[in-house]
Structure 1
Amino acid sequence: MKVSVLILSFLFSFQLIAQPINLKNAVVLVSPSIPAPMRTTAPQMLTEEIAKRTHTTLKQVQSWPGSRVMTIALALSSDQEVAGKPVPGRTSTNVPEQKPEGFRIITEGHTLWILGADARGILFGSGWLLRNLKMDAKRLELAGPVNIASAPAYPIRGHQLGYRTTANSYDAWTVAQFEQYYRDLAIFGTNAIEGIPFHEGETPSALFPIPPKEMQVRISELCQKYDMDYWVWTPATFELTDDAKRKAEIEKHEAFYRACPRLDHIFFPGGDPGDNHPREVMAFLKDLHGKLIQYHPKAKIWVSLQGFSTEQIDYFYKYLAQNKPDWLQGVVSGPSSPPMAETRYRLPKNYQHREYPDLTHNVRCEFPVERWDQAYALTLGREAINPRPFFFAQIHGKYAPFTDGFVSYSDGCHDDINKVVWSMRGWDPNKDVNEILAEYSRFFFGWPLANDAADGILALENNWQGPLAQNGGVEATLAFWKDLEAAHPTLNTNWRWQMLLLRATYDAYTRRRLLYEEGLEKTANALLVRATETDLSKVLDLALATVNKADTEPTAPELRKKIETLCADLYASIGLQTSVPKYKAKGPERGCLLDFVDYPLNNRWWLADEFQKIRALKSPAEQLARMNVIANWENPGSGSYYDDVSSGSKSPRVTTISDDATDIAWWNDGLSRARLSTQTFQNSPALEYSDLDPGARYIVRVAGSGDALLRVDGRRLHPTVYQKELETFKEWIVPLSLTQDGRISISFDQPEESHLNWRQHSKISDVWLLKQ
């Protein structure tokens, strides 16, 4: 009996302790010791974000209210007291709230303390509270009691948000929209923003609400308000040996420095763009620093080694050793930079190392989607809405230990989730990705959706895994998001919600098109195979009409209409430019998925052109022979093999993955009429074959362009046919001695093409092993 009473007593006590903290009628009290402007910014952020979600504005008071009124008290951890009340938890100095940017959230009676080590600690502590509150019209609650402390693992956690024509959304934003986004990022741990103040060679965007020069100053003011470091990316696209241009550039920089109320870091990319030797670069940057510190005495200069040759890299490190420049803060590593580990190893310890990760692109970029399905690559393109939380958490974990943090590359709001993942993992590298997404969903979509929306985001990442035709989860993802949409209609004006709905719809529409259009092409190929000399013209007409049913009898028109609507909604809500003609995007490569939503997923454009060529051939025999090649392109017959080397669904024997995304062509602004397999390629693929007939003769056939230096089982073979033009063939006879064990490996040596741009390198798109 006594045991039962003790258990009941414990449970009752636990229930009292675990009761949520009701902040519905709370007041906000701010310590006067918090530095300005954070003394105003943090409570404003708290009360405004709470009011948006609860329709209740918490009052700010100057003294403690009655003993039963909940108070959110903001104070520095170094404060002795606030308005006569002692600040808790000051017994130790080796605690997170005493470290730069650190904070502690602790409940004490009817007080919820936000204790920050400094102004940023107050900001990030307030952000933690907002991410973890349950907020709606009926409640404002925090699971309690609370005693949590945290400080960031990496000091630099930022994102580049360039107000320029190239961006697919930022160029349409007002100052108010920028401020809201800065606030959103700060709530998730961001402490730096990078601007792009100079726009040489760019036509001013028709969407600019205010001129770029004015916006850059306003951005600086916002960074000052939220105590964020203001970085700027300032390449030199001219020869620094040109004295007149060099002088003009320094004067331009100085005018900008003078205009900015806050400026912390100048990032000068050595290349991408730019093509100057470090001997000129370092002298130029030293001169820039002299101007910079006249207006911003603590500001520093950073440089990247992007595009530098081995000689130039060695020169840079010799310069550091000999001159020990104290005006240089550190080195930035981005695409085409030397390896991260090597940079940290060679860089003297007194210099910092910052990553410049590309979170914004999907192909032809630093971190392409591995084995991205051809249908996505050709329609969603380079800057699609791209939540990749688990992938980027892995990338951050791989490279962050060699750095002091990051400022990411971003050209639009479409990578919003990636930014949040990097900011939160930059704060805590061990923070669970599911937890990050739950906090994201709770804050932006409401607490009831914390887990469901997080699951929906992960489902979108999984939509891009493996061959699209075989990914039945794409339809389940659409159904899941449609159910969420129906259950939460008030979110239909939320731009983050709109983006996720658009991706779910676009993915499913693309998959349905892929299955339908590939089926039409198979039917057309069957017609071509059965053609004779007497009916070949009719067969060509019928085959073309069959593949063109993709246009005349399209599939899933309701999804197509939904995509159109969501693109319009996103342009209205956040300025996302998904089309050049409709929404004034800078170019087709800049997130214009609406312009590619109907791009062929079968070869109907290519077939139309090929059929014209066939009709021009001199004899029916030649015409039938070419029709047979086309019809059997992907079906070489029993005992033979075909691989479209960069198509996940059609390359079962390919073992290599292109790791720099040069395997997706970009011809005719993305509207190429080339065969789809020709638009995807690798430079030197490797393939493995088994179960070969030891007594059979095999021929290797390759399509692509340029050179193909073939090896079979490591042995270099000499071709019998060697055509270098696009979509022509090269052939090699495989010696019988190599197939005696029923297995061969195929590889290709890399031609010496270092003098060429990667877009001009040799390409291998299709590989056949043909049994004779």
Structure 2
Amino acid sequence: MTPRITLLFILLAFQLAAQPVSLKNAVILVSPSIPSPMRTTAPQMLVEEIAKRTNSSLKLAQAWPTGSSATIALALSSDKAVAGKPVPSRTGTDLAEQKPEGFRIVTEGATLWIIGADARGILFGSGWLLRNLKMDGKRLELAGPVDVATSPAYPIRGHQLGYRTTANSYDAWTVAQFEQYYRDLAVFGTNAIEGIPFHEEEKASPHFKIPAAQMQVRLSELCQKYDLDYWVWTPAEFELTDEAKRKAEIEKHEAFYQSCPRLDHIFFPGGDPGDNHPREVMAFLKDLQGRLVKYHPKAKVWISLQGFSTEQIDYFYKYLEQNKPTWLQGVVSGPSSPPMAETRFRLPKNYQHREYPDLTHNVRCEFPVERWDQAYTLTLGREAINPRPFFFAGIHGKYAPFTDGFVSYSDGCHDDINKITWSQRAWDPARSVNEILADYGRFFFGWPLATEVADGIAALENNWQGPLAQNGGVEATFSFWKTLETAHPELKNNWRWQMLVLRAYYDTYTRRRLIYEQGLEKTANALLAQATETGIENTLNLALATEEKADKERISVDLRKRIETLCADLYASIGLQTSVPKYKAKNYERGCLLDFVDYPLNNRWWLADEFKKIRAMKTPKEQVERMHVIGNWETPGVGSFYDDVSSGGNSPRVKTISEDATDIAWWDNGSSRARLSTQTFQNDPALDYDNLDPGARYIIRVAGSGDALLRVDGYRLKPLIYNKAPETFKEWIVPLSLTQDGRISVTFDEPEESHLNWRQHSKISDVWLLKQ
């Protein structure tokens, strides 16, 4: 045989081997050894999810079909044969399909085998198949041949789905919607769901489809059906030393335990909420565990150390050392917990350690968007649609090695992509985020869109990087999603699609408004900076009228209209509450982006209030001086510097950030009339200056509220002016000896204010270095 003919044979063999496996007319054959209810649940999931995408329904079979008909066979790795046909097996001692929850997918002629180590292996193997199938009206196929075996890296992979009024969408869901979401999460490797049975039980949501007590039982039933662990989060928001309340709480717990067909874990947060010493908490949990195992003998009890003082943390570990409680399963680490590495180090090895990551919030939280642009913080708020897959993949990689897994904190479907990312990375920490997003696009939107959706989601995450006005990628992302939206009208009722399209519109509308409104302010400031004692009233009127063009001569009205339509669509499709008055959200901080879509991105509200004060001043000289201060606020002149401390692109010299983004204010339900720079601040920022004039005298000016204990190059300076009221000034003279090298570092000591809530702490919002 000539080399040319040999090559042709090789190519032909390769092409035949790479032929896709067609399952269009397949039957599903299920091993009787698969435990119930998974014996029914997994094939039902396959049949229903395939039918949605292909308009054809696969049939179940009791025996192997004759001829060459395709078959999807579900079996356990312990099975020798199914209906007389041997189950493919491998030799070895470290096989994924023999590890808990592991599975193997292998093609053998016209048969596709899903071989699970256990019931969950069957579930997750079925999920893998659904994620990887090409499904549409003409095809149902898998790129073949296939031989894939995998098992999860972390045993706990869950998400909290609280049916309570605090949630921005879950409280509007039916049982059927919860089941679909459970199924969707299971397809991507989730094995646990956490409910909230008691918190806010006295506050029935106007969106509830059935009473909360009934829904908790139904959620437990769904976990039973899909073999998912059912966790419940149960804080004590009263003093456990109150015997009457303690007794009533234990009885309430017991009644709930008895009502649940499945219950695996009780998670008691030490704080957030709650304020009890661990001496009371541990005794309480021991009593609860005694009631729990009466109805669920294998159920476990967990505690978090959130909000515990050093003394309380030490007490807890001493308690473990002295009592060695076998009724306690482990510790949960969440916001305001001790560091995770420290917890794993101090926790005896026989106790598990679970993370409680906040995937749902953008600011004032555990994992905020770093240096988030002020325009977003003031309009999108705390619970916006927030796909952050690359960021959260990094967070998972940083903390997961100290844990046995996670159950995330979530208050709505807006963080859906973050949940999927965590579930997949907990299954395989090395899995590419792009692959995860491609699976997301393929399963939820159709296989032709896999790559485009992955790119589009990554682009939306990048929309939040850096100063918004400088991020030209926002317009490119909008164009990308607008093209997809136009090309795929069949997805218009898909809530995941609606969320991504809404973000593309909202980001672009906000950026265009920001550029437009800041341009108006620049013009108004120039008028104020040039004001004289003649024509004061005309200057004030003209400056305010210039800024208020943002209300009277709006831009991108078509985008604004589409945003409102998409919010209505999302409320109809998935119960997402983007407005308090319109969609009855619990409060304005819970993702109510529609209520802030037109919130001022210049200072027109603040100016209107300031101009009233100026008009009330006694002399024209005072009036003009204040007008000049306002007009030159952000432009102090050549050789001088200004920083809006926590406003991203307007704080180039600020080196510090707030780790939890509590420097992003939320005053007056988000409708503050304060100056925009006042609404972002730090308590003790650090700034570096260089290229200073060694022969010049400099003054440092600070605006904020409360104290500002300033140091320059480590030296504490005494102030010339020290006003503590909001938006008033403090000033210090910088000694010439400190500027001789052309640079200085400015820091602030943090005042002792531990007795105050963080909202009452001293704040620094604006810093000037003024060359005299």
Q: Which amino acid aligns with 1:177?
A: Q
Q: Which amino acid aligns with 2:324?
A: K
Give the match for residue 178 of structure 2. 178
Report the 3-state secondary structure (helix = DSSP H, G, I; strand = E; otherwise coil) of the residue aligned with 1:649.
helix
Q: Is the 8 A contact 1:704 1:728 kept in 2?
A: yes
Report the 3-state secondary structure (helix = DSSP H, G, I; strand = E; otherwise coil) of the residue aligned with 2:699.
strand
Give the match for residue 724 of structure 1. 724
Give the match for residue 740 of structure 1. 740
Q: Which amino acid aligns with 1:297?
A: P
Give the match for residue 94 of structure 1. 94
Report the 3-state secondary structure (helix = DSSP H, G, I; strand = E; otherwise coil) of the residue aligned with 2:307.
coil
What whole-Å deviation, never above 9, does each CA across 1:443-475 have from its counterpart, x for those lacking one? 000000000011000000000000000000000
What whole-Å deviation, never above 9, does each CA across 1:576-600 have from its counterpart, x for those lacking one? 0000000010000011000000000
Q: Which amino acid aligns with 1:87?
A: V
Give the match for residue 342 of structure 2. 342
Percent identity of the aligned residues?
81
Once residues 678 and 603 of structure 2 are traced to their aligned partners in structure 1, the CA distance between those partners, rounded to angstroms, is: 11
Give the match for residue 610 of structure 1. 610
Give the match for residue 267 of structure 1. 267
What whole-Å deviation, never above 9, does each CA across 1:157-216 have from its counterpart, x for those lacking one? 000000000000000000000000000000000000000001347521011000000000
**What displacement does 1:490 show?**
0.1
Give the match for residue 111 of structure 1. 111
Give the RMSD, CA atoms, in angstroms: 0.7
Q: Is the 8 A contact 1:165 1:202 kept in 2?
A: no
* More off after superposition, 750-759 vs 691-700: 750-759
Q: Does 1:302 align with 2:319?
A: no
Give the match for residue 11 of structure 1. 11
Total equivalences in the alignment: 772
Q: Is the 8 A contact 1:67 1:110 kept in 2?
A: no
Alignment of 1:509-528 (within 5 A): 509-528=509-528
Q: Which amino acid aligns with 1:761?
A: H
Q: Is the 8 A contact 2:301 2:327 kept in 1?
A: yes
Give the match for residue 703 of structure 2. 703
Q: Does 1:84 align with 2:92?
A: no
Give the match for residue 357 of structure 2. 357
* More off after superposition, 100-109 vs 195-204: 195-204
Alignment of 1:324-403 (within 5 A): 324-403=324-403
What whole-Å deviation, never above 9, does each CA across 1:322-347 have from its counterpart, x for those lacking one? 00011100000000000000000000
**What displacement does 1:684 show?**
1.1
Q: Is the 8 A contact 2:217 2:260 kept in 1?
A: yes
Once residues 317 and 613 of structure 1 are traced to their aligned partners in structure 2, the CA distance between those partners, rounded to angstroms, is: 58
How high is the TM-score relative to the length of structure 1?
1.00
Once residues 329 and 199 of structure 1 are traced to their aligned partners in structure 2, the CA distance between those partners, rounded to angstroms, is: 23
What whole-Å deviation, never above 9, does each CA across 1:49-84 have from its counterpart, x for those lacking one? 000000010000000001301100000000011000
Q: Which amino acid aligns with 1:25?
A: N
Alignment of 1:330-729 (within 5 A): 330-729=330-729
Q: Which amino acid aligns with 2:232?
A: V
Once residues 406 and 725 of structure 1 are traced to their aligned partners in structure 2, the CA distance between those partners, rounded to angstroms, is: 44
* More off after superposition, 708-717 vs 308-317: 708-717
**What displacement does 1:90 show?**
4.2
Q: Which amino acid aligns with 1:17?
A: A
What whole-Å deviation, never above 9, does each CA across 1:224-254 have from its counterpart, x for those lacking one? 0000000000000000000000000001000
Q: Is the 8 A contact 1:77 1:90 kept in 2?
A: no
Q: Which amino acid aligns with 1:530?
A: Q
Give the match for residue 136 of structure 2. 136
Give the match for residue 750 of structure 1. 750
**What displacement does 1:93 show?**
3.8
Q: Which amino acid aligns with 2:661?
A: A
Give the match for residue 205 of structure 1. 205
Give the match for residue 288 of structure 1. 288
Give the match for residue 222 of structure 1. 222
Once residues 202 and 150 of structure 1 are traced to their aligned partners in structure 2, the CA distance between those partners, rounded to angstroms, is: 45
Alignment of 1:239-278 (within 5 A): 239-278=239-278
Report the 3-state secondary structure (helix = DSSP H, G, I; strand = E; otherwise coil) of the residue aligned with 1:703.
strand
What whole-Å deviation, never above 9, does each CA across 1:720-755 have from its counterpart, x for those lacking one? 111111111111110000000100011111111122
Report the 3-state secondary structure (helix = DSSP H, G, I; strand = E; otherwise coil) of the residue aligned with 1:368.
coil
Report the 3-state secondary structure (helix = DSSP H, G, I; strand = E; otherwise coil) of the residue aligned with 2:208.
coil
Q: Which amino acid aligns with 2:115?
A: L
Once residues 733 and 619 of structure 1 are traced to their aligned partners in structure 2, the CA distance between those partners, rounded to angstroms, is: 29
Once residues 44 and 587 of structure 1 are traced to their aligned partners in structure 2, the CA distance between those partners, rounded to angstroms, is: 39
**What displacement does 1:530 show?**
2.2
Q: Is the 8 A contact 2:199 2:235 kept in 1?
A: no
Once residues 528 and 321 of structure 2 are traced to their aligned partners in structure 1, the CA distance between those partners, rounded to angstroms, is: 70
Q: Which amino acid aligns with 2:687?
A: L
Q: Which amino acid aligns with 1:231?
A: W
Report the 3-state secondary structure (helix = DSSP H, G, I; strand = E; otherwise coil) of the residue aligned with 1:493.
coil
How high is the TM-score relative to the length of structure 2?
1.00
**What displacement does 1:649 show?**
1.1
Report the 3-state secondary structure (helix = DSSP H, G, I; strand = E; otherwise coil) of the residue aligned with 2:105.
strand
Once residues 426 and 94 of structure 2 are traced to their aligned partners in structure 1, the CA distance between those partners, rounded to angstroms, is: 21
Once residues 679 and 465 of structure 2 are traced to their aligned partners in structure 1, the CA distance between those partners, rounded to angstroms, is: 20
Once residues 658 and 213 of structure 1 are traced to their aligned partners in structure 2, the CA distance between those partners, rounded to angstroms, is: 39
* More off after superposition, 418-427 vs 649-658: 649-658
Once residues 385 and 200 of structure 1 are traced to their aligned partners in structure 2, the CA distance between those partners, rounded to angstroms, is: 24
Q: Which amino acid aligns with 1:492?
A: K
Give the match for residue 322 of structure 2. 322
Q: Which amino acid aligns with 1:598?
A: D
